[in-house]
């Protein structure tokens, strides 16, 4: 869990922490659940079955869409190895733009628009 400064653009996910038992002198022992804030960002470790903490989360003001691909949170809108969905790879000469593989050598207007308006979404 990150204890540093949190950016407003990071996705916040409330997860239940392990509960603790409280002993009350005049009643039964009851479980108390505690909730903590966890910042989830691109590249964080995850597990699709047991720790799927970034499934479909939007981050960075909606410019990133995080999914748990293999064991890391990936932005499926701009990751060439997980373009649009986990495991979808873009071919040679293509970049992932808005979740679709785009041939940038032939469609420069698309990438100019994306890099101008969404500079953080393009990963090379």
Distance CA 117, CA 61 (A): 13
pLDDT digits (tens, 9 = 90+) for 39-48: 777 888 888 8
pLDDT digits (tens, 9 = 90+) for 60-98: 887 889 999 989 999 999 999 999 999 999 998 899 988
Q: What is the pTM of this model?
A: 0.55
Q: Where are the domains of the chain?
A: 77-124
CB 83 within 8 A of CB 76: yes
37 SS3 class: strand
Distance CA 26, CA 15 (A): 31
Distance CA 74, CA 34 (A): 28
> What count of other Cβ atoms lies within 10 Å of the Cβ of residue 118?
18
């Amino acid at each position: 869990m990150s204890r540093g400064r949190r950016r407003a653009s990071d996705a916040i996910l409330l997860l239940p922490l392990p509960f603790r038992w409280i002993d009350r002198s005049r009643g039964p022992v009851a479980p108390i659940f505690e909730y903590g804030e966890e910042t989830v960002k691109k590249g964080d470790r995850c597990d699709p079955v047991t720790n799927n903490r970034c499934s479909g989360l939007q981050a960075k003001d909606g410019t990133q869409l995080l999914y748990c691909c293999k064991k890391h949170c990936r932005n499926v809108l701009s990751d060439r190895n997980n373009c649009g969905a986990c495991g979808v790879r873009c071919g040679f000469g293509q970049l992932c733009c808005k979740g679709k593989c785009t041939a940038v050598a032939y469609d420069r207007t698309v990438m100019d628009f994306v890099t101008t308006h969404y500079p953080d979404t393009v990963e090379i």
